[in-house]
Amino acid sequence: MSYLTDRKRATGLGSAKSGAAHHWSMTISSVALLVLIPLFVFTFGSALGGTYEEILAYYSRPFPAIVAVLTIAVTFKHFNGGVQTLIEDYVHGMAQKVSMIVMTCISYGAAAVGIFAIAKLAL
C-alpha cells in the first residue's frame, strides 16, 4: 500500500511531464484571484465618478495601487495559463508553437501596459 498523495503520484506523469505543476499553478492563481477581484472591485468602485485629480490622489495611496497591480499581474498570468492549455489541446504542429508565443506576448504585453498605467497614476 502506497502512502503517496494524489499529487505526488501524478507528478511526472503525462505526455508533457508537467501537468501537475500546471494544475497547481492555476489553482494558486485562482485562489489569489478569488481574494483580489473583490478587493479590486471595492477599491476601483470607490474611484468611479471622480475627477482626474481625485483619481490621481486616490491611486497615489499605496493600497489601491498595489491591489490594482496585483490584480492585473495575476489575472494575465492566469489568462496565459488557461490559453496555453487550450492551445495545447486544440492546436497542433507549427501553429501550436506560433500560437503559444503570440498569446504569451499578448498576455504579458497587456499586463505590462496595465501595470505601467497604474504606476503612471501612482507616481
Mean pLDDT estimate for the chain: 90
Give pLDDT, residue 15: 59
Q: What percent of the chain has pLDDT over 70?
A: 89
Predicted confidence (pLDDT) per residue in 42-101, tens digit: 999 988 999 999 999 999 999 999 999 999 999 999 999 999 999 999 999 999 999 999
Give pLDDT, residue 4: 72
Give the single-character DSSP code of 123. -
Out of 1.20.1300.10, 3.90.1150.10, 1.10.1760.20, 1.10.10.10, which CATH number does the structure's domain 18-122 have?
Answer: 1.20.1300.10
More confident residue, 105 or 11: 105
Q: What cell was used for 22? A: 500546471
Output the pTM of the full model.
0.82
Q: What cell was used for 70? A: 496585483
CA dist., res. 53 & res. 59, Å (int) = 10
Give pLDDT, residue 28: 97
Number of C-beta neighbours around residue 32 at 10 A: 17
58: exposed, middle or buried (C-beta count within 10 Å: 0-12, 13-18, 19+)? middle
